[in-house]
């Protein structure tokens, strides 16, 4: 099949949906498909994947996206499948990797609480970009021929709740390429990086990897770690713990540094810049913590699981649906500091953590990109068959009209 993957910018180093799209393009190409990435700017992730930059003129993102959407619609007929990572005209498959616009807005209200949440709602009509994205999303949801591929049941439920749509919606969970790190390399990295941050072998090291600290609950993570650390310190033979937060330059996270320092965690809470080789920190840590206010299906949680690192996350993260049967601890909300603290106590126990590690490694086949591609190709075939049937029906109708005339 000729497949177009549509994304605004193709830069795998940005992480998130850009990395997912790069890995997906490579996997589809290796599966024998003819893959082209349609984007506004970027570079091809592999030599076998073509990259085509389409016009995206305009001074604002909204204007550029409108122009880009028109350009995608103009070339859509060249492909069997036009698989977009955001709602755009011309796509026959849409995978909302950022979730729905109403879902994002709902999460923002919850995060800001009962006082600022209503104020945010009142200001929403003045946010032209969000209004435009909402219009695009509404238009695509209204087209029953477009196949919706939510990356978790969480997003599928959003689609049903906000748009009343359940037909032609198929959940295909997000996937990752497991980091190519052997068990021996993991041990060596663990020793090396723990020495670098002055963490002892028996200390429990909690890790948070994020760029959007507010959305990923870094503030709440610091507060839960503070409470866990104080409680653990009162126990006999307890070992001190550490929280490592990776993702921003020191200047960008100054407010969070102060938030930790005010609680006396200056030596226990370490902030590091973005690391493209984040897998080495998974090897060094004992527990991954991502207290998301909203996450369609976090790659960080999936990548951590591939290396046997259990996670503490929230029910607002679609990846929580995969961490079943003890592969992690799920709490309802980042605001529940008591539950987050209890989860830290649970996974700071070596025996519990060892059992969780085995559960994580058992998930690796389910998280593999090969599984993701297999499910996608089945979905693509369904779209292609329907398209062929529609084409044949249109051709027959035109023929009947000419015969009648």
DSSP for 268-318 reads TEEEE---TTTHHHHHH-SEEEE--S-BSS-HHHHHHHHTT--EEEETTBG
Residue 7: closest CA among 150, 100, 19? 19
Judgement on whether residues 136 and 59 belong to the same structural domain of the protein: yes
Judgement on whether residues 231 and 351 belong to the same structural domain of the protein: yes
Q: CB burial class (10 A; 0-12, 13-18, 19+) of residue 32?
A: exposed
Q: CB burial class (10 A; 0-12, 13-18, 19+) of residue 267?
A: exposed
pLDDT of residue 396: 43
DSSP state of 400: H
pLDDT of residue 110: 83
Judgement on whether residues 301 and 160 belong to the same structural domain of the protein: no
Domain, as residue range, for 148: 2-175+369-404
Q: Between β-strands 242-246 and 93-94, what pairing exists: parallel, antiparallel or unpaired?
A: unpaired
Judgement on whether residues 157 and 123 belong to the same structural domain of the protein: yes
Judgement on whether residues 204 and 344 belong to the same structural domain of the protein: yes
pLDDT of residue 12: 67
User: Which stretches of the chain score pLDDT less than 50?
Assistant: 391-392, 394-405
Judgement on whether residues 57 and 193 belong to the same structural domain of the protein: no
Ordered strands of the 50-53 beta sheet: 50-53, 34-39, 2-6, 81-84, 93-94, 147-148
d(CA 54, CA 85): 16
Q: What is the CATH number of the domain that holds 96?
A: 3.40.50.2000
Judgement on whether residues 273 and 313 belong to the same structural domain of the protein: yes
d(CA 141, CA 165): 7
Which residues lie across from 6 on neighbouring strands?
38, 84
Q: CB burial class (10 A; 0-12, 13-18, 19+) of residue 224?
A: buried
Residue 38: closest CA among 13, 58, 77? 77
Our count of domains for the chain comes to 2
Provide the H-helix boundaries in 142-217: 153-163, 183-196
Judgement on whether residues 137 and 244 belong to the same structural domain of the protein: no
Judgement on whether residues 60 and 36 belong to the same structural domain of the protein: yes
Judgement on whether residues 228 and 254 belong to the same structural domain of the protein: yes
| pTM of the complete model | 0.89
Judgement on whether residues 104 and 197 belong to the same structural domain of the protein: no
Which pair of tokens denotes residue 230? 């104080």
Provide the H-helix boundaries in 14-152: 16-30, 61-75, 101-123, 128-141
Judgement on whether residues 233 and 157 belong to the same structural domain of the protein: no
């Amino acid at each position: 099949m000729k497949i177009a993957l549509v994304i605004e910018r193709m830069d795998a180093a940005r992480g998130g949906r850009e990395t997912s799209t790069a890995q997906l393009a490579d996997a589809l190409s290796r599966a024998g498909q003819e893959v082209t990435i349609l984007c506004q700017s970027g570079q091809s992730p592999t030599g076998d994947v073509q990259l085509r930059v389409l016009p995206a003129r305009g001074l604002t993102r909204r204007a550029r996206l409108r122009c880009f959407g028109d350009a995608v619609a103009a070339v859509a007929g060249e492909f069997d499948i036009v698989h977009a990572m955001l709602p755009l005209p011309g796509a026959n498959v849409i995978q909302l990797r950022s979730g729905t616009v109403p879902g994002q807005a709902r999460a923002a209200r919850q995060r800001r609480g009962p006082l600022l949440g209503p104020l945010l709602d009142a200001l929403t009509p003045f946010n032209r970009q969000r209004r435009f994205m909402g219009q695009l999303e509404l238009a695509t949801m209204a087209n029953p021929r477009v196949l919706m591929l939510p990356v978790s049941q969480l997003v599928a439920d959003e689609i049903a709740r906000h748009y009343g749509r359940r037909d032609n919606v198929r959940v295909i969970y997000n996937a990752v390429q497991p980091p190519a790190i052997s068990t021996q390399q993991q041990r060596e990295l663990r020793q090396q990086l723990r020495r670098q941050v002055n963490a002892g072998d028996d200390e429990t090291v909690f890790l948070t990897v994020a760029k959007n600290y507010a959305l990923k609950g870094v503030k709440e993570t610091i507060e839960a770690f503070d409470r866990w650390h104080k409680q653990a310190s009162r126990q006999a033979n307890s070992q001190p713990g550490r929280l490592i937060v990776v993702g921003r330059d020191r200047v960008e996270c100054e407010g969070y540094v102060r938030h930790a320092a005010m609680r006396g965690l200056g030596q226990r809470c370490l902030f590091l810049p973005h690391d493209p080789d984040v897998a080495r920190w998974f090897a060094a840590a004992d527990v991954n913590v991502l207290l998301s206010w909203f996450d369609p299906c976090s790659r960080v949680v999936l990548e951590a699981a591939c290396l046997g690192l259990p996670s503490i996350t929230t029910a607002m993260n679609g990846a929580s649906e995969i961490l079943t049967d003890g592969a992690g601890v799920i709490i309802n909300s980042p605001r529940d500091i008591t539950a987050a603290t209890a989860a830290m106590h649970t996974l700071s126990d070596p025996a519990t953590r060892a059992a969780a590690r085995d559960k994580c490694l058992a998930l690796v086949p389910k998280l593999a990109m090969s599984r993701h591609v297999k499910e996608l190709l089945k979905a693509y075939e369904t779209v292609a068959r329907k398209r062929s049937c529609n084409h044949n029906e249109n051709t027959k109708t035109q023929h009947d009209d000419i015969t009648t005339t």
